[in-house]
């Protein structure tokens, strides 16, 4: 699964030091969310980003977000 960071505002915030057109592997995107969860504005997650997180957790996290 490929994830383009510019499509997801909170992921873009977490990847502030990468070019906006960066494409991550799904496992890497989930790892970034997990490592930096304290910086995620949970109320600011868009429905699309919540859906992405659910898919990443199901596919790479065995149903668990390790934060």
Residue 42 forms part of a structural domain: yes
Residue 67 forms part of a structural domain: no
Residue 66 forms part of a structural domain: no
Is pLDDT at 13 greater than 90 in this prediction? yes
Q: What is the pLDDT of residues 29-44, one digit of tens each?
A: 999 999 999 999 999 9
What's CA 53's distance to the chain center, in Å? 6
Residue 27 forms part of a structural domain: yes
How many folded domains does the chain comprise? Answer: 1
For residues 39 and 63, what is the distance between their CA atoms, to the nearest angstrom? 21
The model's pTM is: 0.93
Instruction: For residue 49, give its domain range.
Output: 2-60
């Amino acid at each position: 699964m490929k994830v383009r960071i510019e499509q997801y505002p909170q992921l873009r915030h977490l990847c502030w030091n990468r070019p906006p057109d960066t494409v991550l592997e799904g496992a890497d995107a989930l790892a970034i969310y997990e490592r930096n969860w304290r910086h995620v504005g949970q109320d600011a997650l868009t429905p699309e980003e919540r859906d992405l997180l659910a898919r990443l957790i199901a596919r790479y996290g065995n149903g668990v977000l390790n934060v």
